[in-house]
Structure 1
């Protein structure tokens, strides 16, 4: 089974998808009922993209 990266930030998940990485699934957050968790397959490229997220 491939390793996965769990992203809790909608902004970060959007940035990753904007840069061409497909989201594997979206699951409900067990701690906060109104939040979602975005699941991505782990690879080096995803961490490079995450480091390039512009500041607000």
Structure 2
């Protein structure tokens, strides 16, 4: 069974479930504002097959 993917331009606040196929083209760590010596989050820029880009972040717990 073939996997169906959404493109970045198809993502809207009304969609609850999306599956995207992307490539990470930029990745960096952002410091925490409370403690600059600690990593606060990981920031990424994604690129899909159509060339659309989106930025995402993962917060550290």
Report the TM-score when normalising by structure 1. Answer: 0.31
Higher RCO by CA contacts (8 Å cutoff, separation 6 or greater): 1
Question: Which structure has the larger Rg?
Answer: 2
More strand by share: 2
More helix by share: 1
